[in-house]
Amino acid sequence: MTGETTEDRGNEAGGRSMYLLGGRRVTVSDLLDAGLITSGTKLRFKRNRIGVTYDATVTDRGRIRLEPDGEEFRSPSRAAMVAAGMRAVDGWRAWLVVDQDRLLDAVRQELLDQTISRAAATAHPPSEDTIRRRVHERLRQARNRAEEHAPERISVRELLALWGATERGDQVSQIEADLANHGLMTSPSFRAVTLDTVVSLTTPPDEVESAALSARSDLDDLPVAEDDEGGTDLDVRLTVGNLSPLTGVASVAPNSTLEEAITKMLLNDYSQLAVLSGPRNLRGAVTWRSIAQAMHQKPSAGVGDAIEPHVEVVAYDRDLFEVLPTLQRREFVFVLDESKSIKGIVTTADVAQRYGEMATPFFQLGELDRTLRWILGRAFDVETLQRFCSRTIKNADQLSFGDYQHILENREVWEQLGWPLDRPTFIARLEEIRLIRNNVMHFHPDPIPGDAVDKLRRFNHMLHRYRDPA
């Protein structure tokens, strides 16, 4: 006998459930396992606008079986999309649990509430449980505000901080899962904008691009709704919005004077300005070239005479690589936000700066790798280096970053180098650089912090001073 009670086991199970659900999206099977619904539960999806109803049943495997044809789906959204012939729909908020007279989403929220309430007595680290509960409560509040049509607005940087993250790295899928479990999404997508862009925490629209399809075979090509079971989690693109904060663009009206345009361009060091008649009515752009041409042809010219009407406009979530040829040809593109308003601009200079930010750490790490291999290869024979490697090496060029640490942590090796440096301090910084290296090699969309780049530069500078063995 261990003295373990049923309540203890329940609390432990609740903690495990919270731990698991914290990293993925809730499924219908989770609701079934928790006893919140049962096999045979009837579901109903009513489209009141067109007066059509669809029925389904939950199977013992946690799938949704459509009636009367018997097709089964793991995803509520996929089931609703196929049943209604719609391009996208949030199935959790579409399907009603008939015998409970509430949406499947409400059952999902009950499961989340239960797992959070049981988490206090779990064996998981308190800090982890605290973060989970804080995120849960914050997202519940955001959901309430979204349903009251007063969505919370928050910068992407502040959003990530709720999960203790500083960049869109390995936690992105977990963050998206937590948002989806609470029936939330960000508008615009927090993946596709800058860290300082302000997004709204909203609920998915009831119907997106609703379209009746004429042929049943077309349904196989429908995309899974983004809020459902992680079907679209893999999104590793660098987007146009990742370079533009979507806070608006400097502009002039078509009837403005060229003096106004020139002054704005000089004050802000701009090479072009948008010409707008409204946030969605882009008339073109004025550039130094177009201004010079207009003034040459007509000394009294205004902005209307200097407009370049053939400009490129792209959506904020467009893949940056697709836009590069246009940028090379046009030198700039205007950027649409999620409401189709002109809210940003990306220039060739922006792209050069961003790729410079991304490339610099690679070059610094490459230099560090080559320098450490050169130092160790000059100072020690292969037999000495092999003692610290878990695999066979033929020369120092085959050493890995972990090998550097194992070799230099050895007091005898360190003393043989003869460096007038403190070994523990050196090894501690090498460990910091290892973490930076791991972050860089994961190709996250956000540039690494400037202080990390400075650490790489300073470390390389120090290595160059002491690279010759004693």
pLDDT tens across 325-381, in order?
A: 999 999 999 999 999 999 999 999 999 998 888 889 989 999 999 999 999 999 999
How far apart (Å, rounded) are the C-alpha atoms in residues 160 and 16? 24
Residues 334 and 359 in one domain: no
DSSP string, 362-378: HHHHHHHHHHHHHHHHH
Residues 163 and 271 in one domain: no
The residue written with tokens 């090699």 in the block is: 441
Residues 61 and 113 in one domain: yes
Query: What are the pLDDT digits (tens) for 133-185?
Result: 888 899 999 999 999 999 999 999 999 999 988 888 778 888 999 999 999 99
Residues 393 and 361 in one domain: yes
CB 83 within 8 A of CB 213: no
Does the structure show a pLDDT above 60 at 217? no
Domain boundary among 314, 340, 366: 340
Backbone angles phi, psi at 363, to 5 degrees: -65, -40
Domain presence at residue 228 = no
Residues 307 and 392 in one domain: no
CB 23 within 8 A of CB 230: no
Residues 161 and 254 in one domain: no
Query: What are the pLDDT digits (tens) for 251-285?
Result: 999 999 999 999 999 999 999 999 999 889 999 99
Domain presence at residue 420 = yes
Domain boundary among 202, 218, 233: 202
Query: What are the pLDDT digits (tens) for 380-433?
Result: 999 999 999 989 999 999 999 999 999 999 999 999 999 999 999 999 999 999
Residues 49 and 184 in one domain: yes
Residues 134 and 26 in one domain: yes
Domain presence at residue 405 = yes
How far apart (Å, rounded) are the C-alpha atoms in residues 387 and 359? 34
Residues 48 and 90 in one domain: yes
Domain presence at residue 224 = no
Per the structure, how many domains does the chain have?
Answer: 3
345: tokens are: 């601009």
Domain presence at residue 346 = no
Residues 85 and 175 in one domain: yes
Query: What are the pLDDT digits (tens) for 81-125?
Result: 999 988 788 999 999 999 999 999 999 999 988 887 776 555 455
Residues 181 and 257 in one domain: no
Domain presence at residue 390 = yes
Q: What is the CATH number of the domain that holds 267?
A: 3.10.580.10
Residues 321 and 439 in one domain: no
Q: Residues 6 or more apart from 57 whose CB is under 8 A from it?
A: 40, 41, 42, 43, 64, 65, 67
Q: Look at residue 151 in the predicted model and tell me its pLDDT.
A: 96
How far apart (Å, rounded) are the C-alpha atoms in residues 54 and 59? 16
Domain presence at residue 221 = no
The residue written with tokens 């130094």 in the block is: 288
Domain presence at residue 219 = no
Domain boundary among 148, 176, 202: 202
195 or 440, which is more confident? 195
How far apart (Å, rounded) are the C-alpha atoms in residues 346 and 316? 10
Domain that holds residue 376: 352-466
SS (H, E, C) 397-449: HHCCHHHHHHHHCCHHHHHHHCCCCCHHHHHHHHHHHHHHHHHHHCCCCCCCC
CB 120 within 8 A of CB 106: no
Element (DSSP H or E) covering residue 77: helix 76-84
